[in-house]
């Protein structure tokens, strides 16, 4: 029965799971899709990593599969994903799983990307076929391996009935933008999407809060709102060659390793406000690459709850900036839903990225499928 997943054409229920770069926890969400259209969104769930789990994952950041901390990280990640998936699989029909795994290292220039864990372990534990290792094929064929959510954004734009170009901004640990034209049917068509990572977003803010205040994030952006950005620093940040590179382009979580030390002399509030301003300016630079002005910028990911980021985005951009939840989509679950959608595309032999989304030479369907042994 499991092997029929790829040969049927109708909608099925897929459970997508994502553990993002901010290392906060795991998102899981069900989507009913045929790999082209979204038919319905199902229940979702989230689990925070414990401090111990987060520390074990963090210890493996930057490591490749032979790294000394990788086995631990894989075990921790798999266990957290399995426990969360069980809560959803038990009560909901689930035909397929999309398992992204924690990105530990990402180096598309050298055709390498590494997400922790093994889909076979999940398939066996959950008794559901699992699509995983979504990014390797893309980087092997010359792509950036990221972002991969753009095809799903295209489907979402059509789901909400958008009739003109619209953009999605994910403010996770890293920021990424997808510009989509929903009037074009196939997301892999050359003019349907343009996508790229904008720059650091919440990751440096979280890191700073952790180092200076011993807390995980700047709740609501309150601390940033009480500070003032150091514009000189923001300008020097913008001189980084990443911002003049043409998209598609992607970033590793720690691609700007000097950010925190550079704001070391600023008071906490000014330092965090400066990092927020950097994230916003990176988006503003990125928006210049859009083929046409979008009708709106729909902000998804945890950063949409940071009022400093949202206020500055609105002030800085000429397009309307909107919390994606206002459209009826779920900004907390969009990435997990993306990997549900992409899993079905992989199972059905449809591409998951294209020259316009990752810079890959031709549209490519990444991902491996593991079937339960029993």
Ligand X SMILES: Nc1ncnc2c1ncn2[C@@H]1O[C@H](COP(=O)(O)OP(=O)(O)OP(=O)(O)O)[C@@H](O)[C@H]1O
Ligand Y SMILES: CC(=O)N[C@H]1[C@@H]2OC[C@@H](O2)[C@@H](O)[C@@H]1O[C@H](C)C(=O)O
138 vs 341: CA distance, rounded Å: 17
Residue 172 is a binding residue for ligand Y (CB under 6 A):
yes
Residue 213 is a binding residue for ligand X (CB under 6 A):
no
* Phi and psi torsions of 216, nearest 5°: -75, -30
Residue 148 is a binding residue for ligand Y (CB under 6 A):
yes
Among 95, 181, 218, 335, which residue sits at the site for ligand Y (rule: CB under 6 A)?
335
Residue 35 is a binding residue for ligand X (CB under 6 A):
no
- Smallest distance, ligand Y to C-beta of residue 133, A: 12
For the stretch 343-358, what's the b/e string if a residue is b when 16 or more beta carbons lie within 10 angstroms of its beta carbon? Answer: bbbbbbebbbbbbbbb
- Binders of ligand Y among 185-244, rule CB under 6 A? 197
- Smallest distance, ligand X to C-beta of residue 18, A: 6
Residue 302 is a binding residue for ligand X (CB under 6 A):
yes
Nearer to ligand Y, 227 or 359 (CB): 359
- Smallest distance, ligand Y to C-beta of residue 290, A: 17
Please report, for residues 233, 235, 272, the alpha-carbon distance to residue 228 in angstroms, rounded to integers and kept in the order given: 12, 14, 9
Residue 147 is a binding residue for ligand Y (CB under 6 A):
yes
331 vs 168: CA distance, rounded Å: 10
Residue 102 is a binding residue for ligand X (CB under 6 A):
no
* Phi and psi torsions of 222, nearest 5°: -60, -45
Residue 22 is a binding residue for ligand X (CB under 6 A):
yes
* Phi and psi torsions of 39, nearest 5°: -95, -40
Take residue 299 and report the two structure tokens written for it: 């902000």
Would the annotation count 22 as a binding residue?
yes
Residue 95 is a binding residue for ligand X (CB under 6 A):
no
- Smallest distance, ligand Y to C-beta of residue 74, A: 15
Residue 182 is a binding residue for ligand Y (CB under 6 A):
no
Would the annotation count 23 as a binding residue?
yes
| Distant-in-sequence, close-in-space partners of 173: CB < 8 Å, separation ≥ 6 | 20, 21, 22, 23, 200, 201, 202, 203, 206, 253
Which residue in 373, 315, 21, 11 sits closest to 172, CA to CA? 21
- How many residues does this entry show for the chain? 374
| Distant-in-sequence, close-in-space partners of 52: CB < 8 Å, separation ≥ 6 | none
- Smallest distance, ligand Y to C-beta of residue 145, A: 6
Residue 302 is a binding residue for ligand Y (CB under 6 A):
no
| Distant-in-sequence, close-in-space partners of 181: CB < 8 Å, separation ≥ 6 | 164, 165, 191, 192, 193
Residue 149's binding partner among ligand Y, ligand X, none (Cβ under 5 to 8 angstroms by kind) is ligand Y
Would the annotation count 34 as a binding residue?
no
Nearer to ligand Y, 103 or 230 (CB): 103
The count of chain residues that interact with ligand Y, using the rule CB under 6 A, is 17
- Smallest distance, ligand Y to C-beta of residue 270, A: 26
Q: What is the β-pairing status of strands 96-99 and 12-19?
A: parallel
Which residues bind to ligand Y, rule: CB under 6 A?
A: 20-21, 103, 106, 113, 146-149, 170, 172-174, 176, 197, 250, 335
Annotated binding site for ATP: 20-27
Query: Rule CB under 6 A: which residues touch ligand X?
Result: 20-22, 24, 170, 172-174, 202, 205-206, 217-221, 301-303, 305-306, 335
């Amino acid at each position: 029965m499991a092997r029929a997943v790829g040969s049927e054409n109708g909608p099925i229920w897929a459970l997508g799971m994502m553990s993002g770069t901010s290392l906060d926890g795991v998102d899981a969400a069900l989507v009913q899709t045929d790999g082209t259209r979204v038919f319905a969104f199902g229940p979702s769930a989230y689990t925070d990593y414990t401090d111990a789990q987060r520390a074990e994952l963090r210890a493996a950041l930057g490591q490749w599969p032979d790294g000394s901390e990788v086995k631990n990280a894989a075990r921790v990640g798999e266990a957290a994903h399995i426990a969360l998936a069980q809560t959803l699989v038990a009560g909901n029909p689930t035909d397929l799983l999309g398992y992204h795994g924690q990105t530990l290292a990402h180096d598309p220039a050298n055709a390498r990307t590494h997400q922790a864990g093994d889909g076979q372990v999940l398939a066996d534990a959950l008794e559901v076929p699992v699509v995983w290792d979504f990014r390797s094929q893309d980087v092997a064929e010359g792509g950036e391996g990221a972002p991969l959510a753009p095809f799903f954004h295209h489907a979402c734009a059509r789901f909400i009935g958008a009739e003109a170009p619209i953009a999605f901004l994910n403010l996770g640990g890293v920021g990424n933008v997808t510009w989509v034209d929903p009037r074009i049917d196939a997301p892999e068509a050359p003019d349907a999407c343009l996508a790229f990572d904008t720059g650091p977003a919440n990751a440096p803010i979280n890191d700073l809060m952790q180092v200076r205040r011993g807390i995980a994030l700047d709740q609501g952006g309150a601390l940033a709102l009480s500070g003032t950005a150091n514009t000189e620093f923001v300008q020097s940040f913008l001189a980084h060659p990443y911002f003049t590179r043409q998209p598609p382009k992607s970033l590793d979580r720690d691609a700007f390793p000097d950010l925190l030390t550079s704001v070391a002399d600023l008071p906490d509030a000014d330092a965090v406000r400066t990092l927020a301003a950097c994230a916003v300016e990176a988006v503003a630079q990125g928006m210049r690459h859009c083929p046409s002005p979008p009708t709106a910028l729909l902000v998804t990911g945890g950063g949409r709850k940071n009022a400093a980021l949202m206020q500055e985005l609105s002030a800085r951009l000429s397009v309307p900036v909107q919390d994606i939840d206002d459209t009826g989509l779920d900004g907390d679950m969009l990435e997990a839903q993306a990997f549900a959608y992409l899993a079905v595309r992989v199972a059905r032999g449809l591409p998951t990225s294209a020259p316009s989304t990752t810079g890959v030479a031709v549209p490519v369907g990444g991902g491996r499928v593991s079937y339960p042994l029993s």
